């Protein structure tokens, strides 16, 4: 059952593990149609993990997830393939295949999912490369590009199918401020022109405040809050405040635990002087 | 997506209705290239279009360039705000002649 007809993503009580380690500890989250949802949180808080689960790439421990109205536990191969066509992904590393040209990389999803005419596909990828300001670079190999250019090419590949939902993991990390800001503008444009729903993980506060319709703040596998930019900015939650203001966490350090971590030696409480 | 082609004095008017997406853009492309192939200029009436994706836009671009190569023109008429935003993404609003109505379009190619 859809809770809201206009939700493209509905996650309820998602729990996930890597090995024995619990990573996401009961995450409940909706993403509305046509909104930009920014996910923030400290390093290791589970942002990329959450994104990978939303893309149905990983096996969860428990909880439910609906993507574009479909329960991902009940997908046939065919459903999964159809769903993947409507989802674009720009990963944290922005990996391109090094043996292929930039153009071939961007064209890959079209080859995989459509039988469009070659000319149509070529124009489509060149338009997308123009959009990320890489016009004319399609014949170069990834090794001939800068890091920022590779990220932009990967972004072009993520949007080449005009996906309904776009997932971006730190799209502007490592880009110069001008290019990063242009990427923010592009994300806004994709929402407005294509009605794309976009989930963006970012550490850049300025970028988050510029593009977000809503922000989810993750902390150690829990959701601290979900709210508009103003709600997050004005939050009285101490941990949200610390995250936004880059307050280091050592104020409330547990010394016993810390020493045990450093030495691997456990000291029983009663023996401590 | 449906389409209708009619021949006017100045050229063809191709009207599309519905969505132009990955499924339907090959048809749109075929119709447009056929009209261009017949040696006349073309007005593409987009008033009935709900949604047009990049594959549809790519077909417009290819048809336009093919027309130009043959010394013909291809203009867009009645472009919705949504379609205009999609064109603007790749700065194509500066490439195409965009007319308010089919009549204006026919005047533009005439
Ligand atoms: N493939 C994996 N195998 C085992 N553990 C993993 C794997 N990927 C992530 N983890 C663990 O899951 C936790 C969350 O990692 P995740 O990559 O989701 O963090 P993040 O919030 O994206 O951090 P960052 O901001 O540094 O990218 C970390 O403790 C990490 O060690
Ligand atoms: Mg990450």
Domains and CATH numbers, chain B: 2-109 (3.30.750.24)
Residues of chain B with pLDDT under 70: none
Residues 6+ apart with CB under 8 A from B82: A193, B50, B51, B52
Q: Tell me the CA–centroid distance for residue A178 and ligand 2, in Å.
A: 23
Residues 6+ apart with CB under 8 A from B25: A116, A120, B53, B55, B56, B58, B59
Cβ-based contacts of B55 with chain A (< 8 Å): 114, 116, 120, 124
- What pLDDT was estimated at residue A147? 83
Q: Do A120 and B58 touch (CB under 8 A)?
A: yes
Domains in chain A (CATH in brackets) are: 7-86+163-271 (3.40.50.300)
Chain A contacts in chain B segment 4-33 (CB below 8 A): 22, 25-26, 29
- What pLDDT was estimated at residue A3? 56
ipTM for the assembly = 0.96
Q: Tell me the CA–centroid distance for residue A264 and ligand 2, in Å.
A: 27
Residues of chain A with pLDDT under 50: 1-2
- Specify the residue with its C-alpha closest to ligand 1, atom 6: A18
Q: Do A193 and B88 touch (CB under 8 A)?
A: yes
- What pLDDT was estimated at residue A1? 45
CB-closest option in A116, A127, A190 to B22? A116
Predicted TM-score (pTM) of the model is 0.88
- What pLDDT was estimated at residue A2? 47
Q: Tell me the CA–centroid distance for residue A46 and ligand 2, in Å.
A: 7
- What pLDDT was estimated at residue A250? 65
- Specify the residue with its C-alpha closest to ligand 1, atom 29: A44
Cα A29 to Cα A12, A23, A258, A270, B60, distances in angstroms? 7, 16, 33, 43, 40
């Amino acid at each position: 059952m859809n809770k809201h007809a206009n939700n493209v993503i509905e996650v309820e009580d998602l729990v996930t593990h890597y090995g024995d380690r619990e990573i996401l500890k009961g995450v409940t989250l909706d993403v509305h149609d046509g909104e930009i949802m920014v996910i923030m949180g400290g390093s290791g808080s589970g942002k990329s993990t959450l994104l990978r689960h939303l893309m149905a790439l990983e096996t969860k421990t428990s909880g439910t997830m609906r993507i574009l109205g479909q329960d991902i536990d009940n997908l046939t191969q065919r459903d999964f393939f159809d769903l993947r066509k409507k989802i674009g992904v720009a990963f944290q590393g922005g990996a391109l295949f090094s043996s292929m040209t930039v153009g071939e990389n961007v064209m890959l999803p079209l080859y995989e999912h459509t039988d469009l005419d070659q000319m149509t596909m070529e124009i489509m990828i060149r338009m997308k490369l123009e959009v990320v300001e890489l016009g004319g670079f399609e014949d170069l190999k990834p090794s001939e590009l800068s890091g920022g250019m590779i990220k932009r090419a990967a972004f072009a590949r993520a949007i080449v199918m005009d996906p309904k939902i776009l997932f971006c993991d730190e799209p502007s990390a490592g880009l110069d401020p001008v290019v990063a800001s242009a990427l923010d503008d592009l994300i806004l444009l994709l929402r407005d022109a294509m009605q794309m729903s976009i989930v963006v993980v970012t550490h850049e506060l300025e970028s988050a405040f510029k593009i977000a319709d809503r922000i989810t703040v993750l902390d150690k596998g829990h959701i601290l809050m979900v709210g508009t930019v103003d709600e997050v900015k004005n939050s009285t939650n101490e941990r949200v405040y610390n995250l936004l203001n880059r307050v280091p966490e050592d104020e409330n350090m547990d010394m016993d635990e810390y020493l045990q971590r450093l030495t691997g030696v456990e000291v029983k409480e009663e023996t401590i002087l | 997506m449906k389409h209708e082609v009619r021949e006017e004095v100045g050229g063809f008017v191709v009207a599309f209705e519905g969505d132009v997406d990955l499924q339907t853009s090959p048809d749109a492309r075929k119709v447009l290239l056929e009209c261009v192939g017949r040696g006349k200029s073309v007005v593409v009436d987009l008033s009935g279009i709900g949604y047009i994706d990049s594959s549809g836009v790519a077909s417009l671009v290819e048809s336009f360039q093919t027309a130009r190569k043959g010394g013909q023109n291809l203009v867009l008429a009645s472009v919705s705000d949504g379609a205009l935003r999609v064109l603007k993404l790749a700065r194509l609003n500066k490439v195409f002649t965009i007319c308010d109505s089919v009549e204006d379009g026919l005047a533009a190619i005439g």
